[in-house]
Amino acid sequence: MNTRLQLYQTKKKKKWPWIVVLVLLFAAGGGTYYATHAGLINWQQLMANINTTQPTEPAAPEEPAPEEPTPVEPPPPVEEEEPEVADPLPLEEIDHSGAKGYEGNETLPLEPTYIDGILMASKQYPLPSGYAPGESPEARAAFNEMAAAALLDDIRLVAFSTYRSFERQQEIYARYVGNDGQEAADRYSARPGYSEHQTGLAFDIGEENAEHHFARESFGETAAGKWVAEHAHTYGFILRYPKGKEKITGYMYEPWHFRYIGKEKAQAVYESGLTLEEYLEQR
């Protein structure tokens, strides 16, 4: 009997552990409910604290800020020394006055010389002995136009010497040499073949009824002489032998001697303030 009872009892399941678990769960749930409604537990704050306390990935170490390079001042500019330029050597002084201008040009050419379209006749550029064009009609027309303009200012111009042949110049030069000697004559009179009058383009100008000023420096001081010097270039003439230029032109100052070269060129020479030789040399 006891044996069967024991067997029966062993077959019965124990229920008390489950009862204890249920009691504990009920107590925990009830306590939690009470604590929540009593304000003892704030679930929202609790969850926020849990979230904020979650481990986070370690922050990457901050890279040190690159150091700004210390500005380096550029070296002061090296001033280039300008190369020393030696003063130009002084040119040998030109002196064509007197007989010196003929040196090396004693032989007359077969053909006349033109420079920049201008017929040359000087101690450096002689003419052929047979060159005999006569007085230039163009130059004569230009002189007549100039004389008409001067007349409006009550100045009566005359051309007392224009074209001279080679033979005529021979006579004149020989006479001057006989009177004053060759050295003096070479300063104011051209040897045959070297005279501008042989071109037919040179006009010796004076004033009517004032013959005492013909071929004299005093003509340059007269009203007529000053008028021609100021206006001749307008009509194609230039003062051929200016004052103080004897070493360049080869002749003394001749305020009466004008050379026709055309209006355009005469204007350019006049504005340059140069002699014909200087003007042509710089072109």
Residues with catalytic roles: 254
The SS3 assignment for 200 reads: coil
Identify whether the C-beta of residue 196 lies closer than 8 Å to the C-beta of residue 259: yes
The answer to whether 208 and 157 are in contact (CB under 8 A) is yes
Residue 144 tokens read as 């007549």
Amino acid at 151: L
In the Cβ-directed half-sphere of 202, how many Cα atoms lie within 13 Å? Answer: 23
Both tokens of residue 97? Answer: 């006055």
Beta bridge pairs of residue 119: 114
Contact 250, 101 (CB under 8 A): yes
**Helix (H) / strand (E) containing 281:** helix 276-281
CA torsion sign for 265, 267, 272, 277 is positive
